[in-house]
Structure 1
Amino acid sequence: MTKWMLLAGSLCCASAILIGAFGAHALKPILTEQGKGWLDTGVFYQMSHGLALLACGLLPTKTQSIAASFFIAGILLFSGSLYCMAITGNTQLGIITPIGGVCFLVGWGLFCLSVWRMPASRYLP
C-alpha cells in the first residue's frame, strides 16, 4: 500500500463532505440555483476521485502513482474551478474545468493500464 495515496484519498473524501455540508447550510443564502449545481457537481467528482485515490493506494504500482497524481490534479482543477464559480459567480473560471476533466480521463486510462498489466497474483486470493 502507498500511504500518500491512501491519505490523499481520505482527505479528499472528508473535505468533499465538509464542502457539501458547508454549501448546503452556510452558503445556502448566497448560492444561486446554478451555483448550487456547480457546487454539487464539484463535490460529486471530488468524492468519486477521492475513492479512486484509495483504490490506487491499495494496488500500488508506478503507473498507479502517476494515475493518482492526475486524479489529484483533476480534483484541484475540475472541482476547484466549480467551487470558485459557485461562490463568486465568475464563469470565466469555467475555462479551467475541462482541463481538470482531461486529468481525470488520463488518470482513469493509466489506472486501467496498470490493472491490465498487473499479474493476477496481486489481486486474486
Structure 2
Amino acid sequence: MDLLMKITRIDRFLVVFIGISGCFSVLFGAWLSHAAQGLIAEQMHRVQVAHQYQMLHTLALLAVVVWYRIDNSKLLLFSALSFTAGIMLFSGSLYLKSFFSITGISNLAPFGGILLALAWLLLIFVGKNKL
C-alpha cells in the first residue's frame, strides 16, 4: 500500500472522528443543560470540563484537518493526531470516571492534556516554517 493511500485513510479517519466528536459534544451539552441534575457537584464539574475541552479541541482539530488538506505538512498531521488522541484520553477518561465510576482511568487525563498541548505547540512550528 503506498503512502498516499495511508494518508487518505488517516484523513478520512480524522474527518469521521471530528463528526463523531462534534456530535457528542452537542449531545453532552444538551444533556448537561437538561438532565444532569443527578450528578454530584464533583461529577458535574468534571463532565463540564471534559465537554468544554472536547468542543474546543474538536473545532481546533477541524481547522487543522482543513489546513492539512491544503498543505500536506507532516507537522499538521502529527498535530491532528495529537488533538485526536488528546480528546480521547482527556475528555474520554473524565467522562468514563464520571459516568461509570472507573477511578483508575482518570490517570489518563494528564497524558491527554499533554497531547492537546503538544498539538498546539506543533502549530507553532508549522507557522514558523510556512507563514
| TM-score, normalised with respect to structure 1 | 0.81
- 1:114 corresponding residue in structure 2: 126
- 1:123 corresponding residue in structure 2: none
- 1:11 corresponding residue in structure 2: 20
Q: Distance in 2 between matches of 1:3 and 1:59?
A: 14
Structure 1 gap segments, 5+ residues each: 121-125
Structure 2 gap segments, 5+ residues each: 1-10
> SS state of the match for residue 37, structure 2?
coil
- 2:101 corresponding residue in structure 1: 89
Which runs of structure 2 are paired with 1:68-79 in the superposition (5 Å)? 68-79=80-91
- 1:20 corresponding residue in structure 2: 29
> SS state of the match for residue 42, structure 2?
helix
Q: Distance in 1 between matches of 2:27 and 2:107?
A: 25
Q: Is the 8 A contact 1:39 1:86 kept in 2?
A: yes
Alignment pair present for 1:38 and 2:50: no
Structure with greater helix percent: 2
> Post-superposition shift, 1:5?
4.0
Counterpart residue identity of residue 84, structure 2: I
Cα 1:117–1:79 change in 2 (3 A) is same
Deviations 1:45-99 (A, max 9, x none): 0011101111112211221111000101001100001101111334332211101
| TM-score, normalised with respect to structure 2 | 0.78
108-117 vs 63-72, which deviates more?
108-117
Q: Report the count of equivalent residues.
A: 117
Q: Is the 8 A contact 1:85 1:91 kept in 2?
A: yes
Which runs of structure 2 are paired with 1:56-75 in the superposition (5 Å)? 56-60=64-68, 61-75=73-87
> Post-superposition shift, 1:13?
2.1
* Structure of higher RCO (CA pairs closer than 8 Å, 6+ residues apart): 1
Correspondence for 2:62 among 54, 58, 68: 54
- 1:100 corresponding residue in structure 2: 112
